Amino acid sequence: MKLMKEKKGNVLALLPIGVFLVLYLGLGIVFEYVLKIEMGFYHIPIVVAFIAAIFVACMQNRKVSFDEKLEIMGKSLSDKNIITMILIFMTAGIFVGVVGRGGAQSVAYFMLSLVPMRFAPAVLFIVACFISTAMGTSTGTIALIVPIAVSVANITGFSPALCIGSVMGGAMFGDNLSLISDTTIAACNTQGCTMKDKFRENFHIAFPAALVSVVVILMISAGVEQHGVVRDSYSLIQIIPYILVLIGGIAGMNVFLILFVGIVTGAIIMTATGALTPLQLLSNMGNGASGMFETSMVAILVSALCGLMKEYGGFDALLYGIKKIFRGKKGGQFGMGLLVGVMDIATANNTVAIVMTGEIAREMAKEYDISPRKSASILDTFSCIFQGILPYGAQMLYAVSAAVTMGCQISAFEIIPKLYYPFFLFISSLLFIFVIPERKVLNKNR
């Protein structure tokens, strides 16, 4: 392992992050739990919070003129990875806008029509895994499949918490593994690795966790007496764009080419089948891209903020502190995972957490001799673990909201014990850090 440089840095350079957390996390807690505002965290304009943090950073270090600070931020934004990340964000948003919700629900109803209802919770988990991996969005998957999960619970006798928890677990599987997930895009581009390499690294961690989750769900479901069936119409042809994107990603195709194929195929199918008119298709494309505007802006602002904090010695201070706590390569990997996890708890957004910790994680990877694909995998995996169980995260709020809309009164704390996949993913991650030699994993990936 490379020896870390003994630079104590400047702890005060991290003050802007503290300001951001106070504004975003503090106001979010007040809105959500004191004022009882529904989805209170998502009423806080995250872009405004980051601009306030940048303002604080610009007020620091009087030795550097304001023009020089602008130049520092400009250099940070000129990184090729930032531009690539934003373009992929936009293109992925267009794909999701084109394929819409019909294909996702068709997958669910098709699978439920094939498999006996006693296996319904496990089917919901597998369907959510497939949809989220193909679409690259956990919240979108949850919004589409949770209403079906509630119907399954009402008709079959399974508990709503088990059915909803199964969907959420599967949604986080794809959020972590998908080639077009914003977390994958952020993790790969901040760490400088290909999506194919990160997918292969992640697959060895995520698949065992998913397999164990299915077994546990089946075991729990076995003792429940079922009654009734869930049926609805579906269109298998609308599934084709998802399958093409999934196959292309696994095959290691260029992500832009994968998305282009998915967009063109989806556009042809949706218009040919009459699901969308050409005008609606163009509108959906625009809405899909605009849905990524805030995420793209956050990436830009975080890059500018990190440029200033790094210049002031904030990263050196953080690395120095991490070195005192975490020893060796394995400790460095675990420290990296905890760092992005803590940031996710603070922001309730795993993509933002990855973007915020991406630069410091890259520095940690160099110091601890961690490969880029390993650091990208750790960032994505740990952020999804924490995001998947947050009672105030977007995924949980969407799930509860969708359930309530379907007439199912349920709380986040009823669902959390049924979130088997995030917990097993955490165990699997620890095994691959502390127990399973990295060399064996790398050999499998060759």
User: What pLDDT, on a 0 to 100 scale, did the predictor assign at position 417?
Assistant: 92
Contact 76, 303 (CB under 8 A): yes
- Mean pLDDT in residue range 90-109: 78
User: What pLDDT, on a 0 to 100 scale, did the predictor assign at position 442?
Assistant: 45
What is the spatial distance between Cα 146 and Cα 53, in angstroms, rounded to a whole number? 37
What is the spatial distance between Cα 2 and Cα 175, in angstroms, rounded to a whole number? 33
User: What pLDDT, on a 0 to 100 scale, did the predictor assign at position 5?
Assistant: 45
What is the spatial distance between Cα 134 and Cα 118, in angstroms, rounded to a whole number? 26
- Mean pLDDT in residue range 413-422: 92
* Residue 319 or residue 203, greater confidence: 203
Instruction: Encode pLDDT of 269-307 as tens digits.
Output: 989 988 889 999 999 899 888 877 887 888 788 888 888
Average of per-residue pLDDT values in the chain: 84
What is the number of alpha carbons within 13 Å of residue 320 lying toward its C-beta? Answer: 13
What is the spatial distance between Cα 107 and Cα 257, in angstroms, rounded to a whole number? 24
- Here the contacts of 78-85 (C-beta below 8 Å, separation 24 or greater) are 79/303, 81/189, 81/190, 81/192, 82/189, 82/299, 82/300, 82/303, 84/189, 85/185, 85/186, 85/189, 85/190, 85/296, 85/299
- Mean pLDDT in residue range 369-394: 90
Q: Longest C-alpha distance within the chain, in Å? A: 73
Instruction: Encode pLDDT of 188-201 as tens digits.
Output: 988 988 888 898 89
- The phi-psi region of residue 280 (left if phi > 0; otherwise alpha if psi is between -120 and 50; otherwise beta) is alpha
- DSSP string for residues in 319-369: HHHHHHH--HHHHHHHHHHHHHHHHHHHHS-HHHHHHHHHHHHHHHHHHHT
Least confident of 51-55, 85-89, 158-162, 174-178: 85-89
Categorize the per-residue pLDDT at 64 as very low, low, confident or very high, splitting at 50, 70 and 90: confident
**DSSP 8-state class, residue 30:** I
The answer to whether residue 445 scores a pLDDT higher than 60 is no
Instruction: Encode pLDDT of 125-178 as tens digits.
Output: 999 998 888 877 788 788 888 888 998 888 888 899 999 999 999 999 998 988
Residues 6 or more apart whose Cβ sits within 8 Å of residue 428 = 205, 206, 208, 209
User: What pLDDT, on a 0 to 100 scale, did the predictor assign at position 443?
Assistant: 44
Contact 386, 339 (CB under 8 A): no
Instruction: Encode pLDDT of 324-350 as tens digits.
Output: 788 888 998 999 999 898 888 877 778
Least confident of 266-270, 394-398, 411-415, 426-430: 394-398
CA-CA-CA-CA dihedral for 78, 79, 85, 87, to nearest 10: 40
User: What pLDDT, on a 0 to 100 scale, did the predictor assign at position 143?
Assistant: 81
Categorize the per-residue pLDDT at 375 as very low, low, confident or very high, splitting at 50, 70 and 90: very high
- Mean pLDDT in residue range 237-259: 81
Q: Identify the CA nearest to 14 among candidates 437, 315, 419.
A: 315
User: What pLDDT, on a 0 to 100 scale, did the predictor assign at position 228?
Assistant: 63
Burial level of 314, CB count in 10 A (0-12/13-18/19+)? Answer: buried
Please state, as a whole number, how many other Cβ atoms lie within 10 Å of the Cβ of residue 180. 28
